[in-house]
Structure 1
Amino acid sequence: MKIYKLILAAPALLAPLLAGAEEWIIPRTTYYITAEQQKMPDFPAPPEPGSKADRADLSAVFAMQRSLKPGQCERAKMAAHADFENFFGDISPFPAPLPAEAAAIFRRVKTETDGAAADIKDKFKRKRPFLRDPGLKPCLGRIGGLAYPSGHATISRLLALMLADLVPERRAQFLARADEAALDRVIGGVHHPADIEAGKALADRLYPRYRKSGKFAADMKTLRGLLLKSKVKK
């Protein structure tokens, strides 16, 4: 009888776990800047749910889906994993393969940046487009996490700003690539346009704070020493 009751209860016990299977657990770090420095209480909110701007934001995702060109979704899938190599590997100013020291620095920057973005996501709790309208079929799949701001847009731009400091003459190229990475998230159906613009804005706010960090300055010095001189000018 006890076993029978446990079997009947199992779905109820598992439901919360299954419902949360797509939730993302994002660590918070304070290697470069403090938790207080990562807070942005004045960060702009996403469009008010149901407002004209909000409806236009969601409609833009549908419009993007209808106008997809061959290869766009495949490109978005290739950059689905947000890391330096996926964003900048083919235009990297570093030797190939990426030196281990550089890879470690970029991972550290990403972890801290992801945490700062997650704090804002948790504040606004904007759902991904496909959760708001079942008619949307995201080519990147029904991934977990919240929408605003886009973490991919944030980290791709922040890495681009780092590269622009390291190789100033290629600034436009790096920022353009970050813009492509951000747009891929709308192409993939997992973000609204406002989400990616917010991600870029967050990177623009975070980067000056990182630059004031002694640890960040030390990491940038290390990266500068690892540059492949033949790729500095292009």
Structure 2
Amino acid sequence: MRFTTLAAPLAAAMLLGACGSTAPTSPAEVGELRPGSGYLKGYLPAAELPDSLALLPAPPAEGSAALASDGATFRALTALQGTPRGALAVQDANLKFPKAAEVFSCALGLPISEQATPNLNMLLRRTLADAGSATYKAKNNYNRTRPFVAFKTGSCTPAEEASLAKDGSYPSGHSAVGWAWALVLTELAPERADALLQRGRAFSQSRAICGVHWQSDIENGRLIGAATVAKLHTNPVFQAQMAGARSEIAKARAAGAVPAQDCSAEAKALTASALIAP
């Protein structure tokens, strides 16, 4: 009984706090992680990010069956480079906005942009920082060699290879970001849940196709993405931005808005690789 009597006032107080919070939609107001980087600050202070080092096991050990499986997946999925699915993987590598806003447009069935859906666009930009940053305790601790370096092959983004080779592979930051995006969008548009989650999974698998992450990097990156979204739900600014984004989605659907890109081509590329993707 005591819990019941306390729960209602507490829930009401949290709701009022979220409603009273502002959710800026201006990049200038939010600010960048590093000046000139183009990446905006997240919602969570560093101390509130999930602890990836505490949450994740160590990456597969040398000579283990798990590492052998990682190698087999690398060989299978990098074979898709040069195909339409490989081309989509190259597009998925780009986390810079406004281009990155297109990743989930087809799955959502709506265009996403700073002009048309400012709250939704800001949600993606800021959760990118939170989910990506949350991977770095484990990344920096393990400093795992990336597969394209280990196998002395190329990747699907040659211009990024020098910087990627210096950045730990485990867990995958892209995978954490993509899965966090998929979970957030699924909450906003539950009627599109299957398509959104499938696109989130494909987004993370693009990193294996590109040869820049092991499969175990990707799977554990998704875990950190999910942990980040759980933490974000305690943040009142995030909650307020979610409310704004939900309203934008409803208005866009009512207006008959549709994605600008070729969604049939994306669907074909994803379907063609479905049978071999782990």
Asked whether the two chains share a fold, i.e. TM above 0.5, the reply is yes
Residue identity matched to 1:132: A
Taking the TM superposition and a 5 Å limit, the aligned residue runs for 1:70-109 are 70-82=83-95, 84-92=100-108, 94-95=110-111, 97=113, 98-109=116-127
Within the alignment, does 1:214 sit opposite 2:227 as a pair? no
Q: What is the Cα deviation at residue 82 of structure 1?
A: 2.4
TM-score, scaled relative to structure 2: 0.66
Q: Helix, strand or coil: the match of 2:135? A: helix
Query: What amino acid sits opposite 1:139 in the alignment?
Result: C
Residues 95 and 57 (structure 1 numbering): CA distance in 2 closer, same or farther, change over 3 Å? closer
Structure 2: distance between partners of 1:139 and 1:121: 21
Alignment of 1:134-213 (within 5 A): 134=152, 136-141=153-158, 142=161, 144=164, 145-213=167-235
Distance 2:179 2:85 in 1: 20
Paired position in structure 1 for 2:5: none
**1:31 paired to 2:43:** yes
In the alignment, structure 1 segments of 5+ residues that lack a partner are 1-24
Relative to structure 1, is the Cα distance of residues 168 and 123 closer, same or farther in structure 2, using a 3 angstrom cutoff? same
Deviations 1:86-137 (A, max 9, x none): 4213334555544334323321111122111122211221111011121x33
> 2:65 is matched with which residue?
52
Task: Please give the alpha-carbon distance, in whole angstroms, between the structure 2 residues aligned to 1:163 and 1:140.
Answer: 27
CA offsets, 1:19-54, max 9 Å, x none? Answer: xxxxxx9x8966335514432413222111332321
| Cα RMSD (Å) | 2.7
Seen in structure 2, the aligned counterparts of structure 1 residues 120 and 86 have a Cα distance that, compared at 3 Å, is farther
2:40 and 2:129 in contact (8 A); partners too: yes
Question: Residues 50 and 86 of structure 1: is their aligned pair in 2 closer, same or farther, counting only changes over 3 Å?
Answer: farther
Q: Distance between the aligned counterparts of 1:174 and 1:62, measured in 2?
A: 27
Q: Which moved more, 1:160-169 or 1:94-103?
A: 94-103
Q: Tell me the secondary structure at the aligned position of residue 55 of structure 2.
A: coil
Distance 1:220 1:96, change over 3 A: closer
Distance 1:39 1:168, change over 3 A: same
Paired residues in the alignment total: 207
Report the equivalent of 1:111: 129
**Cα contact 2:49–2:130 (8 A) shared by 1:** no
Aligned partner of 1:6 in structure 2 is none
| 2:92/2:103 contact within 8 Å kept | yes
Counterparts of 1:106 and 1:99, CA distance in 2 = 11
**Quick one: percent identity of the two aligned structures?**
25
